[in-house]
């Protein structure tokens, strides 16, 4: 194995991850560092209880994407899905009907919910679910404690907080968010293994996930941001040329008064957290004291492209770690 390959072989990588963009990046990271030990800290702020079942969209998106079960077109949910249960629930007039849970996906939520009911923590449940999917990374929830992202809106029904999924899926973030809060963050603890994984990491990678409701929420769990700031951290901008590549990060950034740009997201993360920052060529002017910025194509058309971007991030981290 080459020297670099040898180094990668022993490498401990920690990556934070949200939904679709993060999961696709991780597929590339795993491809470019097949022998590295990769720990993924997954966002649980999107989690929601529906029909008595606990749904963990970002954990499932990482698990299905890396485990080969994802609906590639949608980026979430299972491939070859059917929706008979959803239709039957609708026939009973049961709400909500705006969240598309498929029959295969229901099995994941049933297993998770019965294990929660039996008293297992989410981290052990996620480990159990990953035994089937073999994602090739260690997937940890950011916390085992209940945290949910809620969004304050003011519409015809007045000013109120709605669950992030209702704002994101039912409203398509069309109603401006007055504020976004991670309910429960202040009393939440990092899940077992999270701080240890960060401590043992050679590098921490921030994929191009939503900086507010995915990466931002993970950083709000007490102890996680400080632990990561102590490491060599390289991030990939989720914004290219003033627009998010996918999803609605712009609506989230606007909600917290941050401009939708690669510069503004870097400023939001801060140089106390970030050591290296990958931006697209059209954002080559991005700069921040104490941060090495590299401009190169960062659009993940496929796993090969994602692997190439991930390799650039790892190589930059290697240089910065010195
Ligand atoms: N996103 C949608 O836009 N519409 C849906 O109906 C929907 C259902 C859904 C079910 C399970 C799941 O794991 C994810 C689902 N998502 C859906 C995506 C989800 O809202 C987002 O992936 C994250 O919460 C944000 O990254």
Pocket lining: 61 vs ligand 1, CB cutoff 6 Å: yes
Residue 5 has pLDDT above 80, yes or no: no
Res. 247 pLDDT band, cuts 50 70 90: confident
The CB of 164 under 6 Å from ligand 1? The reply is no
- Mind listing the pLDDT tens digit for each residue in 177-229? 999 999 999 999 999 999 999 999 999 999 999 999 999 999 999 999 999 99
Centre of ligand 1 from the C-alpha of residue 248, in Å: 13
Q: Other C-beta atoms within 10 Å of 69: how many?
A: 20
Statement: 3-145+186-321 belongs to CATH 2.40.50.140 = no
What residues does 73 pair with on adjacent strands? none
Name the pLDDT band for 1 (thresholds 50, 70, 90): very low
The pTM of this model reads 0.96
pLDDT score for 270: 98
Average pLDDT score, the chain: 96
Give distance in angstroms: CA of 304 to centre of ligand 1.
25
Rounded distance, CA 73 to CA 20, Å?
A: 11
pLDDT band at 246 (very low <50, low <70, confident <90, very high): confident
Predicted confidence band of residue 245 (pLDDT cuts 50, 70, 90): confident
Compute CA 301 distance to the chain's CA centroid, rounded to the nearest angstrom: 18
Q: Is 76 in the pocket of ligand 1 (CB under 6 A)?
A: yes
| Ramachandran area for residue 119 (φ above 0: left; ψ -120 to 50: alpha; else beta) | left
Which residue has its alpha carbon closest to ligand 1 atom 14?
Answer: 57
**53: confidence class by pLDDT, cuts 50, 70, 90:** very high
- What's the N-to-C CA distance of the chain in angstroms? 21
Does residue 19's CB lie within 6 angstroms of at least one atom of ligand 1? yes
Taking residues 265-280, report their average pLDDT: 98
| Domain boundaries defined on the chain | 3-145+186-321
Is a pLDDT exceeding 70 seen at residue 3?
A: no
Contacts of range 117-124, beta carbons closer than 8 Å, 24 or more positions apart: 121/191, 121/192, 122/44, 122/56, 122/191, 123/191, 123/192, 123/193
How much of the chain is in helix, strand and coil states, percent to nearest 5? Answer: 40, 20, 40
| pLDDT, mean of residues 30-50 | 98
pLDDT in tens, 122-147: 999 999 999 999 999 999 999 999 99
Mind listing the pLDDT tens digit for each residue in 78-109? 999 999 999 999 999 999 999 999 999 999 99
């Amino acid at each position: 194995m080459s020297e670099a390959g040898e180094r990668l072989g022993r490498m401990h990588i920690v990556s934070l991850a949200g939904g679709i963009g993060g999961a696709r990046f991780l597929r590339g990271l795993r491809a470019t560092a097949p022998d590295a030990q990769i720990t993924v800290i997954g966002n649980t702020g999107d989690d929601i209880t529906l029909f008595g079942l606990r749904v963990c969209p970002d954990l499932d998106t990482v698990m299905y994407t890396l485990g080969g079960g994802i609906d590639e077109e949608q980026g979430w949910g299972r491939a070859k899905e059917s929706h008979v249960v959803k239709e039957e629930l609708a026939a009973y007039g049961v709400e909500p009907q705006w969240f598309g849970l498929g029959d295969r996906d229901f099995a994941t939520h049933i297993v998770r919910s019965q294990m929660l009911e039996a008293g297992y923590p989410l981290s052990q449940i996620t480990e159990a679910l990953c035994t089937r999917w073999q994602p090739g990374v260690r997937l940890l929830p950011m916390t085992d404690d209940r945290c949910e992202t809620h969004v304050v809106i003011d519409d015809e029904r007045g000013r109120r907080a709605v669950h992030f999924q209702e704002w994101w899926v039912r409203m398509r973030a069309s109603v401006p968010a007055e504020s976004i809060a991670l309910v429960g963050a202040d009393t939440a603890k990092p899940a077992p293994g999270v701080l240890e994984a960060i401590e043992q990491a050679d590098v921490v990678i921030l994929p191009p996930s939503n900086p507010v409701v995915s990466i931002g929420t993970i950083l709000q769990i007490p102890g996680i941001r400080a632990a990561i700031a102590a490491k060599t951290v390289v991030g990939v901008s989720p914004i290219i040329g003033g627009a998010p590549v996918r999803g609605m990060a712009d609506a989230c950034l606007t909600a917290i008064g941050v401009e939708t740009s690669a510069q503004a997201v870097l400023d939001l993360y801060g140089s106390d957290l970030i050591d290296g920052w990958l931006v697209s060529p059209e954002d080559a002017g991005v700069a921040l004291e104490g941060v090495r910025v590299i401009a190169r194509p960062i659009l993940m058309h496929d796993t090969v492209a994602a692997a190439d971007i991930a390799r650039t991030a790892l190589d930059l981290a290697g240089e910065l770690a010195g």
